[in-house]
Chain A
């Protein structure tokens, strides 16, 4: 027995030492490039920063609905509790008015605040660490150039043990490595630019990957995952069974990114906000670069050809009822055979968003409806009505099951319970 404790004690000490070493080496901050030469022209720097802030969608989290831009206060619900985003306007008391470019670099690159405390990765520094010093300086110059807003953020409301901030050192030792984007020499400058935007500023992986129990991106990069704290699934950007762009032309992906709409599908849920606030503002060269990079990330898997399937009588009866609802509620816009209306209403036949293994996006689209975002390229979009108030959960389950199993589509049938569970955020 005594021997057991000795061994257990030794193991515990070794684990602690290894962890301490990992934290010590991981937390070294030896990468502080000198401020960039372009600082000599602060206005040009701030203008470039404004563009980069759009590419990084800083506004998306750092602004509350209808509130002052970048003044923070938006609540981010997560499985660990609710984060409240900070004010990043240059107000000296409640914002980042006292920060230097060096402090800002430390935050985006090392995930540490001005006073050195480690930041929760709800701020996606796991991705932002790839941002170059030049771009970080430009972002900082922009944020310092906007009007200061005096608005103190409420405190985060995190559950135990996530509210014990020092535990973040362990998390960081396991899941975070600081480092700017390194070009792949065998790829074109365009591809590398796309990779930089997708992996770094765009922080696409923050939603489009599976998160493990500790909230770290766990699965394959861009492999798709449930959006933290929301009843939405961010589809895989690599699988052709989901939102992979291997089969799409680069131009079509550019259109999807900048307007949220192609003839074959539409962005929905949280992605519409990303299109409206971020992607529509990107220049064609950057959009193309992202599309080129995303296309190269396709795993090349192809959808299994639909086999003619027969359903049990009670399932078939539900599908038939769904067909009647489709006829009455959906057909006018999405077409009798799910072909959609080009430029306005996406096709449902052969649309991978409809046949995702998780039906949650289809359910939310029917429950809440929604307009395609207003963008420069599509200033007068069309929309879909919400059906939560007019159809029962069972009727919604029936019509989605019908859509998921018609015109060559093949996916699981949906139950009223699934609709009920997807009904909130």
Chain B
């Protein structure tokens, strides 16, 4: 009797579980169109709003250029997001999006984008003006302008975590950024090294430097280097642990 009871109980369980299963499948098929599951707990999911503009490659839109985020140094991306949030950089959509996000959140978002593989768009531009070459590669010590690659990596591919690469960007975009620094609509954490440099450049030099950088062929791989060999030649608030931040700009070599 007990054995039969057990058997009966087992049968009942099986029946009810298969009944539940069929109910479940019915519910699933009914609700498949109505309810989505929980959102994936990933930053890939949280980064979706960014992808409306920022493709895996930089992209020209109707009236502006949306730079690539993938593979850029995390510290650089974090700094830019806080700059938009806190009014040091001006872009209406970016300011609104960053408005209520914390440093901790933005660090995670930055490290997500930083970890994505970078896709560079090959340059289509004609060779750049040769007059830019000395400025880019040697700087101008008389005006305290360092060479671009004294800070941005020997191959201009950036230095982790805070210094961005300069290649694979359109000339318009680079000259717009330098111009914004020159007139003060783009700012970085003080001491703002790029503002100091941009103010020294003439409009013609800005165009020439932007065209020179945009015309460079891209080295294979194309990742930012992990560290810079020497201290930065300038004081730069965006680069933490820059030994030179506390000191005045010295007569150190402004060359890479």
Among candidates B38, B61, B87, B101, residue contacting A344 with C-beta atoms closer than 8 Å: B38
Contact A341 B34 (CB under 8 A): no
| Interface bits B185-226 vs A (CB < 8 Å: 1, else 0) | 000000000000000000000000000000000000000000
Q: State A336–B37 Cα separation when bound (angstroms).
A: 12
Q: For residue A166, which residues in chain B have a CB less than 8 angstroms away from its CB?
A: none
| Interface bits A72-85 vs B (CB < 8 Å: 1, else 0) | 00000000000000
| Interface bits B40-73 vs A (CB < 8 Å: 1, else 0) | 0100011011111100000001101000000000
Looking at A276, A333, A386, A388, the one whose CB has the most chain B CB atoms below 10 A away is A386
**B63: nearest residue on chain A (CB-CB)?**
A389
Looking at A65, A276, A379, the one whose CB has the most chain B CB atoms below 10 A away is A65
**A388: nearest residue on chain B (CB-CB)?**
B93
Which residues 331-356 of A sit at the B interface, judged by CB distance below 8 A?
Answer: 333, 335-337, 339-345
**B105: nearest residue on chain A (CB-CB)?**
A374
User: How many chain A residues touch the partner (CB < 8 A)?
Assistant: 38
Q: For residue A33, which residues in chain B have a CB less than 8 angstroms away from its CB?
A: none
Among candidates B37, B46, B86, residue contacting A382 with C-beta atoms closer than 8 Å: B46
Contact B108 A380 (CB under 8 A): yes
| Interface bits A385-420 vs B (CB < 8 Å: 1, else 0) | 111111000000000000000000000000000000
Contact B100 A373 (CB under 8 A): yes
Query: Known contacts being A370-B96, A371-B97, A380-B108, is A339 close to B36, with CB within 8 Å?
Result: yes
* Interface flag for B4 (CB, 8 Å): no
**A336: nearest residue on chain B (CB-CB)?**
B33
Contact B52 A390 (CB under 8 A): yes
Contact B39 A345 (CB under 8 A): yes
Contact B100 A385 (CB under 8 A): no
Q: For residue A64, which residues in chain B have a CB less than 8 angstroms away from its CB?
A: 87
Contact A276 B100 (CB under 8 A): yes
Q: For residue B100, which residues in chain A have a CB less than 8 angstroms away from its CB?
A: 272-273, 275-276, 371-374
Among candidates A275, A345, A371, A386, residue contacting B52 with C-beta atoms closer than 8 Å: A386
Q: State A385–B51 Cα separation when bound (angstroms).
A: 8
Among candidates B87, B99, B105, residue contacting A380 with C-beta atoms closer than 8 Å: B105
Contact A341 B96 (CB under 8 A): no
Contact A384 B49 (CB under 8 A): yes
Once A and B bind, how many residue pairs between them come within 8 Å at the CB atom?
107
Contact B87 A337 (CB under 8 A): no
Among candidates A67, A339, A372, residue contacting B34 with C-beta atoms closer than 8 Å: A339
Contact A370 B62 (CB under 8 A): no
* Interface flag for A383 (CB, 8 Å): yes
Query: Known contacts being A65-B86, A369-B52, A374-B102, is A383 close to B93, with CB within 8 Å?
Result: no
Q: State A388–B63 Cα separation when bound (angstroms).
A: 12
* Interface flag for A368 (CB, 8 Å): yes
Q: State A323–B2 Cα separation when bound (angstroms).
A: 61
Contact A339 B35 (CB under 8 A): yes
* Interface flag for A161 (CB, 8 Å): no
Contact A386 B87 (CB under 8 A): no
Which residues 88-130 of B sit at the A interface, judged by CB distance below 8 A?
Answer: 88, 93, 95-97, 99-102, 104-105, 108
* Interface flag for B85 (CB, 8 Å): yes
Which residues 8-31 of B sit at the A interface, judged by CB distance below 8 A?
Answer: none
Contact B97 A341 (CB under 8 A): no
Q: For residue B48, which residues in chain A have a CB less than 8 angstroms away from its CB?
A: 333, 382-383, 385
Q: State A66–B98 Cα separation when bound (angstroms).
A: 12
Q: State A344–B104 Cα separation when bound (angstroms).
A: 19
Q: State A368–B87 Cα separation when bound (angstroms).
A: 17
- The minimal Cβ–Cβ distance linking B182 to chain A, given in whole angstroms, is 21
Query: Known contacts being A385-B49, A385-B51, is A379 close to B87, with CB within 8 Å?
Result: no
Query: Known contacts being A379-B104, A380-B108, A386-B49, is A370 close to B97, with CB within 8 Å?
Result: yes
**B93: nearest residue on chain A (CB-CB)?**
A386
- The minimal Cβ–Cβ distance linking B33 to chain A, given in whole angstroms, is 5
- The minimal Cβ–Cβ distance linking A151 to chain B, given in whole angstroms, is 15
Q: State A301–B28 Cα separation when bound (angstroms).
A: 35
| Interface bits A364-378 vs B (CB < 8 Å: 1, else 0) | 000011111110000
Q: List 18 A-B contacts (CB under 8 A).
A: A66-B86, A275-B100, A276-B99, A337-B34, A339-B35, A339-B36, A341-B36, A341-B39, A369-B93, A369-B97, A370-B99, A374-B101, A379-B102, A379-B104, A380-B46, A382-B48, A389-B61, A390-B52
Q: Which residues of B contact A (CB under 8 A)?
A: 33-39, 41, 45-46, 48-53, 61-62, 64, 85-88, 93, 95-97, 99-102, 104-105, 108
Knowing that A67-B87, A369-B93 touch, tell me 18 more A-B residue pairs with CB under 8 angstroms.
A65-B85, A66-B87, A273-B99, A273-B100, A336-B34, A368-B97, A369-B52, A371-B100, A381-B46, A384-B49, A385-B50, A386-B49, A386-B53, A386-B97, A388-B93, A389-B52, A389-B61, A389-B62
A-B pairs with lowest CB-CB distance, top 7: A66-B86, A385-B52, A373-B100, A344-B39, A385-B49, A65-B87, A276-B100
